[in-house]
A = this chain, B = another copy of it.
C-alpha cells in the first residue's frame, strides 16, 4: 500500500530530527545540554493549574468553536496593558500557535498562492504552508543588519500575481530581532500599496531586553483590514504542552472565515483554556522576573561565545534565540558530530542547524540556532562546550 505523496515528502522538523542521536548519546551516559529547542525551563505559573483544579462542570462538553468567552475576556484585559483594544469578535482561540498559523494561511490564501517571509524564519511555517498548499517566498535578512527587515525593494522584487500576504515574526524566532515601529510602518505601507495581508507572529511579545519595547502590528492605525496576529500562551506562560493559541484580527470577513475553519474541528481543548484564563489573570509584573532571567541568560551566552572572534553574532533584542555564524562548513554535520563523537568530561551540547531556517538553498549552512532556555550555570557550561567543540572540530 502506497501512502500519499504529501506524507512521503513532508519535511522533517530540523529542530527535532536529531533527537534520536541525542537519545543515543544519553544512553552512552553523556549529558546533553539542549540549546536546540525553544522549550523553556521556567515554571508554568501555578495559577494555571489552580484554575483547572477548580473546574466544576460534571460534563466536559464541546465548547464554542471560537473558544471560551471567559478566556477571550481575560486576553482583552491583558492586551489593554499595551493599549491595544480588542473585542471578543476579534479573537478566535486556536489549538496552539500552530493552528493559529494554519487558520491565518487558509483565510488569506488559496492553493498555489504565495506568502513573502523574511528568512531565516521559524521552520514550521514551511510545514503549515505545504499543508495549506501555499508557497513561501523568502527575502533574506542579513546577520550584519541584526537580521532586521531587508529593504522594501527586496520585498517588491518577490511580488507576483499570486502574492497574498507578508508574514512577520517579532520578536523573531530564530534571530531574536525586534522590529522597530518605523520598519513595521514601512512594511504596512507596502502591504497597503500592493493590497496584501500582514500576518504577524507575536508569540514572543513579552520577551524584549535592555528596555526595548515590542510594537504590535495591532497598534498600527489604518491597517485594521490587513493585519492578522498569531498568538500563543506556550512561551508567554511557559505552557507549551497546553496547546492554546489565538488568531486575532479586526477584519470581520477574516474572523468569519476563521470561525468556519474553527467549526470544522469543533472546539479547542477546554481545560487548557480554563488554565490559560488563570495565567492571563496574573498581574502584568509577573513578566518582570521572567524577562530579567532571560536577559541574564542572553548576556551569559553572548559573553562566552564572543570570546571566540570567529563566532559571529548580534546580541538579540528579544525572544530567547541566537542565530550564530560559526567557523564551520555545514551546521548539520557539526550538530551530528557534537552528538555522535564529541564529549568533554562526558558532556556535550545540542544545536539546531541553521540551514533548516532558510528557504533559499545553501543559505545558513554555517549558522546554528541556539535557544537560551536552560538555567544560567548550565547555559554557561553549554556555551563553553560549544567553544571547546569548535576548537576540536575538523569540518
Question: What residues make up the interface of A, taking CB atoms closer than 8 Å to B?
Answer: 1, 3-8, 10, 12-13, 16, 37, 39-44, 48-49, 52-53, 55, 58-63, 65, 95-96, 98-99, 106-111, 113, 124, 127-128, 131, 133, 164, 195, 197, 225-226, 238-243, 251, 253-254, 257-258, 260-261, 263-272, 275
Contact = CB atoms under 8 A, between A and B. Distances in A.
B270 A3 contact: no
Given A43-B58, A62-B240, 16 more contacts: A1-B225, A3-B108, A3-B254, A4-B110, A4-B164, A48-B60, A61-B240, A62-B241, A63-B241, A95-B243, A96-B265, A131-B264, A241-B269, A243-B266, A243-B270, A270-B272
Contact of A59 (B1, B42, B253): B42
A265 B95 CA distance: 9
B4 A264 contact: no
Contacts of A95: 95, 243, 265, 269
User: 9 closest Cβ contacts across the A-B interface?
Assistant: A7-B257, A241-B270, A127-B264, A269-B269, A60-B241, A62-B240, A243-B269, A98-B265, A44-B60
B1 A197 contact: yes
A252 B242 CA distance: 29
Residue of A7, A55, A61, A263 with most partner-chain B CB within 10 A: A7
A320 B55 CA distance: 27
Contacts of A62: 37, 39, 240-241
A266 B98 contact: yes
Copies of the polypeptide in the assembly: 2
A265 B99 contact: yes
A124 B62 CA distance: 15
A4 B241 contact: no
Given A41-B59, A60-B240, A98 B264 contact: yes
Contacts of A59: 40-44, 238
Contacts of A241: 60-63, 267, 269-271
